[in-house]
């Protein structure tokens, strides 16, 4: 964090309002005698699933692991391909690599910056076992349409919902649209823990059981690993705190939407807004725009005491970690142009209307 007066993220303002309930939750756990996979995790899993509109939640240690757990629970690994985008956070693709599968990067829709679902469906080949659409920035990929495009092909759709808690598409919450979904509770997320946390969600009871096995060393019975596994558990302490924060999530997302509407209306025309997927209630995790000269705009903001960010500067197919990924024959020109021009402006529920107007004025000046 810098000394800027308008920050990209500041958990302390929100904590001020909920501190007594957070401390009470911590004391409850410490007094309970149960620290791992106890009643708080079970309660959070079902409360979060209910908040999302259905399914079974499986708490895990972070959003990266959530993807690995979902892939392994689906039996995906070496020799398989998993399609995603190169315009996402590194961990989406890291998780594919950790699983043993090979990432395949589909082109993005230049209007939204999200997976172009038609291009993604075209990339399906004999080795494709799953597609991971990423609901980036809090905007939703049209997963129902993607599933229509896939038709009867046996390809699992795993929604990466790390950035989209609170988003919906035509009335259905993200996370309920594919075969499985994964969430991150990294502190900056719309629902953020005070540390790491994650969740898998699925409506398939057998798949949920497989996820529970994978998160706990692959145990099919006590001290017996019947399959691939890791140690990836959500702690009781984090679950208890997340239960407190979940109560305020709808209001927090609504506040993000109000602030984003001010940006939409008041940023100058030189700032290119990204489109929202038709029918999507955008969760406004990040307010990301495209500008011609990003460094100049970021410099102007910094001089005015305003932070900014880039999500993300380097497309994944340019990174050595993913040099073995399969790409479309045409390459990823939209992804590369997007990465060269995007920047994210401060957006979190504790900002005032006036602070957002200050950012708009600083860019216009
Ligand atoms: C789109 C996306 N996927 C996956 C992750 C991984 O989550 P975590 O940092 O909790 O492992 C993140 C967050 O960093 C993310 O933004």
Residue labelled with tokens 């939703």: 140
Question: Is the CB of 159 within 6 Å of ligand 1?
Answer: no
* CA of residue 21 to ligand 1 center, whole Å: 27
* CA of residue 90 to ligand 1 center, whole Å: 8
* CA of residue 270 to ligand 1 center, whole Å: 30
What is the assigned CATH class of domain 1-365?
Answer: alpha beta
Say how many Å lie between the first and final Cα of the chain, rounded.
Answer: 25
pTM of the predicted protein model: 0.98
**Integer CA distances (angstroms), 260 to 161, 164, 274, 290, 348, in order:** 19, 15, 12, 15, 10
Domain boundaries, the chain: 1-365
Full pLDDT tens readout for the chain, 365 residues: 456 799 999 999 889 999 999 999 999 999 999 999 999 999 999 999 999 999 999 999 999 999 999 999 999 999 999 999 999 999 999 999 999 999 999 999 999 999 999 999 999 999 999 999 999 999 999 999 999 999 999 999 999 999 999 999 999 999 999 999 999 999 999 999 999 999 999 999 999 999 999 999 999 999 999 999 999 999 999 999 999 999 999 999 999 999 999 999 999 999 999 999 999 999 999 999 999 999 999 999 999 999 999 999 999 999 999 999 999 999 999 999 999 999 999 999 999 999 999 999 999 99
Candidate from 162, 191, 197, 199 with most ligand 1 atoms within 8 A of CB, to mutate: 162
**Partners of residue 181 on adjacent β-strands:** 159, 201
């Amino acid at each position: 964090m810098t000394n800027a007066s308008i920050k990209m993220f500041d958990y302390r303002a929100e904590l001020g309002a909920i501190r007594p309930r957070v401390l009470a939750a911590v004391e409850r756990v410490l007094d309970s005698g149960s620290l791992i996979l106890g009643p708080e995790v079970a309660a959070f899993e079902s409360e979060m699933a209910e908040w999302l509109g259905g399914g079974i939640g499986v708490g895990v240690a972070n959003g990266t692991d959530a993807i690995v757990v979902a892939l392994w629970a689906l039996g995906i690994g070496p020799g398989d391909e998993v399609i995603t985008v190169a315009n996402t956070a590194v961990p989406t693709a890291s998780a594919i690599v950790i699983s043993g599968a090979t990432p395949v990067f589909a082109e993005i829709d230049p209007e939204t910056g999200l997976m172009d679902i038609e291009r993604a469906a075209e990339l399906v080949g004999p080795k494709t076992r799953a597609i991971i659409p990423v609901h980036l920035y809090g905007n939703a990929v049209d997963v129902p349409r993607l599933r229509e495009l896939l038709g009867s092909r046996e390809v699992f759709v795993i929604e990466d919902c790390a950035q989209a808690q609170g988003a919906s598409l035509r009335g259905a919450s993200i996370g309920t649209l594919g075969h499985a979904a994964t969430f991150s509770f990294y502190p900056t997320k719309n629902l953020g823990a005070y540390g790491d946390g994650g969740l898998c969600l699925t409506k398939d009871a057998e798949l949920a059981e497989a996820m529970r096995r994978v998160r706990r060393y692959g145990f099919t019975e006590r001290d017996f690993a019947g399959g691939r596994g890791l140690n990836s558990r959500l702690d009781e302490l984090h679950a208890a705190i997340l239960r407190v924060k979940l109560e305020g999530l709808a209001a927090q997302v609504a506040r993000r939407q109000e602030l984003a509407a001010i940006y939409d209306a008041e940023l100058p025309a030189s700032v290119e807004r990204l489109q929202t997927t038709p029918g999507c209630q955008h969760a406004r995790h990040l307010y990301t725009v495209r500008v011609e000269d990003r460094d100049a705009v970021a410099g102007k903001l910094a001089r005015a005491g305003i932070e900014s960010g880039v999500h993300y500067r380097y497309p994944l197919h340019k990174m050595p970690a993913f040099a073995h990924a399969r790409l479309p024959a045409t390459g990823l020109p939209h992804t590369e142009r997007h990465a060269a021009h995007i920047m994210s402006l401060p957006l979190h529920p504790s900002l005032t209307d006036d602070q957002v107007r200050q950012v708009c004025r600083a860019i216009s000046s």
